[in-house]
Structure 1
């Protein structure tokens, strides 16, 4: 157990170093460049030499205790920057996956719905298999199902829920915690890895939000923010697609095991819509409708 805990602590430290400290140190270097160089000497690295010389000539530069304190301060500041980036990443993720019920999200949803309808009409009008395949590809580039979210990322996650319900009548939100307990360890590991990649992609977007305001003092931070944001956008889309596909695949391959565990199938089980409805009713714990009971509000 001691060996296991030591290995776990080592992995946690490596992840902490990779996700927070190292990017934070790079960000602090950008902040230092912004303070010293500004816009006037933004790319003149020679201007950094006098500042470095002043720090080296400081009496505390040869003091081991002072050096340790400075190093600890730098690590603390880097970690604080990393935590700010993670907080920004959470905000970006919430915005990307939010429902399109309020303005201005409704405008984005409406625009995406219009694009999807045009692509869907092209599918209906396709005359050959090749034309149909191209039309379906263009429609799926907008969304796999009719858009309900203001962004592609939100719709891709929503599509996993919708497609599972359309195919099996299974409400993924109710079934997922129980399904998670029935899948093999290898499946859990794949899902956790995909979820981690998804979170890391949004973490990169969080760093982009920190570099953006830095451009007010040092203009090279603006193209840096643009590059980081573009990389984050690509990685978010890729990670979202992989994660959503794995969720659907997990349902396809293992939901029948959940049905067996709940005692809802016979000797030769098959995941049908009736079984999915039965799982949903069981897990939501809703009472079955009584056909002889008057509807609510009836006199």
Structure 2
């Protein structure tokens, strides 16, 4: 037991250092540079060096102040990491929201993703499936919704009910790529939070706004890649193991194609609908 606790402590410490302390320390450094230089002289290296040397001399004369400063810097890095994590989660909820703030105004515009999808379908001479057309404010939200729509169309079940139970049936080798993709997604969410947090030093030092923009764009790109990968893996797992779940629950499917009545029976069992 002691060995398990020790190993867990090592992993937590390593995660804290790489995900919180290091990026938080970098943010504290940038914030310090922003306070010293400001908008008036954003690239005055001579002034920055002079201030750094003066601070170093102060710490040599008063070692106690150096200890306090280091402690405050570490605490500031920890607080920054906590705030960045919170901002990342807020951004995630914003990107995955269901409703537009402008109602249907944006969806009706000729530049919306829905309008472009309809135009592409007309050019191809095909009738688009209404459930597969963009319906959420962001691409990320639609990619997540598309998993639910496709699973519902193919198997007549609710993916939100199926997935937690099906996950318990997966072996470790099958879970690993999904867990790895989710970890990369979580890192992208955290990176988005750091990008937003760099807006704070940007208030007094405009180059920080460039840093913020770069980090936010990078995080958005990673979010698109990881969400697409994670959605594809989850949908694939449902394709491969849904029959196993239905059999384990006691509502096995009959033929090669899942009938609507079979899908509804599984939905009722998972949703604890009870007898009709």
Q: TM-score, normalised by structure 2?
A: 0.89
The residue that corresponds to 1:91 in the other structure is 90
Task: Summarize deviations over 1:167-201 as a string: whole Å, max 9, x none.
Answer: 10110111222112111122223222211211211
The 5-angstrom pairing of residues 1-299 of structure 1 reads 1-58=1-58, 63=63, 65-100=64-99, 102-104=100-102, 106-110=104-108, 111-124=112-125, 145-265=132-252, 270=256, 272-274=258-260, 275-287=262-274, 289=276
In structure 1, distance between residues paired with 2:72 and 2:250:
58
Moved more, 147-156 or 50-59: 50-59
Moved more, 149-158 or 172-181: 172-181
Q: How big is the shift at 1:269?
A: 7.2
Task: List, as ranges, runs of 4+ consecutive aligned residues in structure 1 with deviation greater than 6 Å.
Answer: none
In structure 1, distance between residues paired with 2:126 and 2:266:
38
In structure 2, distance between residues paired with 1:76 and 1:108:
44
The residue that corresponds to 1:132 in the other structure is none
Q: How big is the shift at 1:288?
A: 5.5
Contact 1:191 1:247 in 2 (8 A): yes
In structure 1, distance between residues paired with 2:242 and 2:192:
34
In structure 1, distance between residues paired with 2:103 and 2:76:
35
Structure 1 stretches of 5 or more lacking a match? 127-135, 290-299
Q: How many pairs are equivalent?
A: 272
Task: Summarize deviations over 1:220-247 as a string: whole Å, max 9, x none.
Answer: 1111111111111110100000110011
Task: Summarize deviations over 1:121-178 as a string: whole Å, max 9, x none.
Answer: 222269xxxxxxxxx9xx9xxx992112100000000001110111101101112221
SS in 2 for 1:103: coil
Structure 2 stretches of 5 or more lacking a match? none
Query: Residues 106 and 207 (structure 1 numbering): CA distance in 2 closer, same or farther, change over 3 Å?
Result: farther
Moved more, 239-248 or 269-278: 269-278
Contact 1:194 1:243 in 2 (8 A): yes
Moved more, 269-278 or 113-122: 269-278
SS in 2 for 1:58: helix
In structure 1, distance between residues paired with 2:161 and 2:92:
22
